[in-house]
Amino acid sequence: MGRRWIVLPLVLLIGSSVAAEEADNGVCDAGAIPVTRWESPHGEVPLSFEEWRAARPWPRDFSLGRVYHSAVRAAPDVDVIVNSELYDDIEAALGQYVAELESWGYVVTVDTASAAQTIPACEELRQYLADRHAAGLEGVVLIGDLPVPWFQMIDEFEGDDLRDDYEEFPIDLFYMDLDGEWADELHYDPQSQQMVPGPDGIFDTHEGGMEPEIWTGRMTASPLGDEVYLITNYLGKVHAFRTGANTLAERALVYVDDDWYPWAMQWSGDVGLAYGDRTNVYDPEETTAWDYRDRLDDDYEWIAVHAHSWPGGHGFVYNNGSSWSWFYAYEIPSIDPLALFYNLFACSNARYVEDGYMGGEYVFAPTRGLGAIGSTKTGSMLEFQDFYGPLGEGKEIGEAFRAWFEAQIKDGFEMWEKSWYYGMTLLGDPTLRPQAPAVSVAMTPESVELAPGETLVYTATVVNHADTSVTFVGYGDVSLPNGNPYPGNPVLGPITIVLGPNQVKSRSIQHVIPLGAPAGTYTYEGVAETLLGEEIDRDDFEFTVNASAG
């Protein structure tokens, strides 16, 4: 595949002023941004769908079965789907993981499934998720080898003066968009270099409602080595993070190679929505593999790296764009970076069907890695503010990723956007919150359809995730159907709450709906604050007051 780099200082100066203007306007001119390209030192090429499917004896039939479900209650619903052959070997670590999800307020279902690699298997799993979503499912965690949906297309990157290539790649958006129309109607003809009629086992059509309804996260370790060890060790790192034993400085490294120099500070500003403390490295002669490698032990919770790449590593240009330096995925386990989360603006770095794929090496590193956003194809994330904004508000990384995807699709999904974004995926546990509060609040209503005079009942749960005691203030506010605050706020508290190390407290709260309450949808917010009035966490739910009982 081709490559493009910015060589002339004049171009850099022009690009800098353009980027500054874009930053001022709060817009992203994707047509001006060089596309991430597959660059590798030895001419490696992407694994094709047929090569991947033929490489292993995948099961022929798809099976799906439930092994666990939390006590029935109204709460965010998460499904953890585990490869059926892997389940027994990780059951102990998985049990701890599920218990911690429940302590954070989730209702958890655990299913096992086979790894059949066919379109019917993918469609059956997707339909199961759609049925679960209709009953309240918010997201799914995929552990081990499970049905992988593939997509094929001829890229059309707006403003790119290179030939746009044919690509086939895994597409996890298939499991996020549950009401869109996906089909396998075409195949690629190498001679004409066109898509022509006739199915071939790879999706090629996506129409209808395309927005993602749920978030997904994938723990795929089999291409990296000992799958049982890697996933068990990973779940141990998640436990350590949730209990405060696997934390790093709340700061970010924003590392931008030459092609994207003009956008470096704008993108750093986007990262700043979640991380006020940032180290920015973007000088064209400073961004090299040697420099990047040296920074991986500098203690960053978040690393955003922007570099032409391939599944086996990153390529950084230097010497006015005339030379390449390489950082290899296989180096990561021995380096064991002091970093937890990654945004990989790096071609095909998250292509989890490739042996030794770099996104997986980051996530399954021995002691630290927890999550990575990246792409299974050419392209990557743009409009970073739509991701880092929710992340900085304390959302789960999975929800921030879903919100980003929704923001890109909601006003229409043009071909250049599909070319940039279709390969985007989340590696690791999607329920983690990089900006996790020391105390979390969860509210679970018994009923959300009420009439004046009836009683609103909910369970409020507060959790101390630290190993030390904490004292804070909790209160509840209600917003009226017109968006204004209820004049009687706070409807609960303020209450001073003391929690011991890792303590959980739950309490049933009741409010009688006033007889004169106007009909409509209300929002109830529960807030935890420090004694100085700084917000720690909040949760909310909506309830509807009908005109009359019944």
The DSSP letter of residue 135 is T
Mean per-residue pLDDT, 404-419: 91
Check pLDDT > 90 for residue 279. Answer: yes
150-205 pLDDT per residue, tens: 999 998 887 544 557 899 999 999 999 999 999 999 999 999 889 999 999 999 99
Residue pLDDT, tens place only, 47-82: 999 999 998 899 989 999 999 988 766 567 899 999
Distance CA 435, CA 392 (A): 6
The answer to whether the CB of 342 falls within 8 A of the CB of 295 is no
Position 468 pLDDT exceeds 90: no
Beta bridge partners of 454: none
Question: Right CATH number for 439-545 from 2.60.40.3880, 3.10.400.10, 3.40.250.10, 3.40.50.12780?
Answer: 2.60.40.3880
Q: Is residue 393's pLDDT more than 90?
A: no
- For the ranges 8-22, 144-158, 167-181, 334-348, the lowest mean pLDDT is seen at 8-22
Average pLDDT score, the chain: 89
Q: How confident is the model at residue 156, as a pLDDT?
A: 86
What Cα–Cα distance (Å) separates residue 30 from each residue in 184, 304, 321, 392?
A: 29, 19, 22, 24
pLDDT tier for residue 23 given thresholds of 50, 70 and 90: very low
Q: Shortest CA distance to 155 belongs to which of 463, 487, 380?
A: 380
* pLDDT value, residue 71: 76
Quote the CA–CA distance of 433 and 537 in Å, as a whole number: 12
Q: Are 304 and 349 in contact (CB under 8 A)?
A: no
User: Residue 183 region, left (φ>0) first, then alpha (ψ -120 to 50), else beta?
Assistant: beta
CB 187 within 8 A of CB 200: yes
Specify the residue for token string 């436990």.
239
Predicted confidence at residue 3, as pLDDT, reads: 28
pLDDT at position 313 is: 98
In this predicted structure, what is the pLDDT of residue 435? Answer: 66
Residue-level pLDDT at 13: 30
**Cβ(300)–Cβ(279) under 8 Å?**
yes
Nearest Cα neighbor of 215 from 386, 67, 77, 84 is: 77
Rounded to whole angstroms, how far apart are CA atoms 206 and 174? Answer: 9
State the Rg of the chain over Cα: 24
Digit-coded pLDDT (tens) for 295-313:
999 999 999 999 999 999 9
pLDDT at 28: 57
Closest CA to 421 of 447, 383, 369: 383
Exposed/middle/buried for residue 379 (C-beta within 10 Å: 0-12, 13-18, 19+): buried
Say which residues have a Cβ less than 8 Å from residue 439's Cβ, sequence separation at least 6.
462, 463, 464, 465, 470, 472, 499, 528, 536, 537
386 Cβ neighbours under 8 A, 6+ residues apart: 403, 404, 407, 408
Could you tell me which CATH class the domain 9-31+248-428 is placed in? Answer: alpha beta
**E-strand spans in 99-179?**
107-113, 137-143, 150-154, 166-170
What's residue 74's pLDDT? 58
Collapsed DSSP state (helix, strand, coil) of residue 265: helix
Query: Given this model, what pLDDT does residue 134 score?
Result: 92
DSSP string, 341-359: EEEEESTTTT-TTSTT-HH
CA–CA dist 191, 214 (Å, integer): 39
Strand, helix or coil for residue 327? strand
pLDDT of residue 14: 30
Per DSSP, helices labelled H in 57-106 are 87-103
Question: Could you read off the pLDDT of 98-135 as tens digits, one per residue?
Answer: 998 988 778 899 999 999 999 999 999 999 999 999 98
For the chain, report the end-to-end CA distance as a whole number of angstroms: 66
- Report pLDDT for 503: 85
Angle in degrees, CA 302, 370, 394, rounded to 5: 60
Q: What percent of the chain has pLDDT over 90?
A: 72
At 460, phi and psi to the nearest 5?
-100, 130
What is the spatial distance between Cα 27 and Cα 502, in angstroms, rounded to a whole number?
43
How far is Cα 277 from Cα 69, in angstroms, rounded to an integer? 41
Give residue limits of the domains in the chain.
Answer: 9-31+248-428, 49-208, 439-545
Q: CB-based contacts of 379: which residues, under 8 Å, 6+ apart?
A: 35, 36, 155, 157, 347, 419, 420, 421, 422, 423, 424
Give me the pLDDT at residue 62, please. 95
Q: Which of 116, 130, 102, 137 is nearest to 64 (CA)?
A: 116
Instruction: Kindly state the tokens that stand for 46.
Output: 């992407």
pLDDT for res 469: 85
Which pLDDT band, with edges at 50, 70 and 90, does 412 fall under?
Answer: confident
Which residues are CB-contacts of 208 (< 8 A; sequence separation ≥ 6)?
179, 180, 181
Res 456 pLDDT > 90? yes
β 215-219/137-143 pair status: parallel
Q: What is the percent of the chain where pLDDT is above 70?
A: 91
For residue range 416-452, what is the model confidence (pLDDT) as tens digits?
899 999 999 999 999 998 866 678 888 888 888 999 9
How confident is the model at residue 538, as a pLDDT? 86
Phi, psi of 335 (to 5 degrees): -70, -40
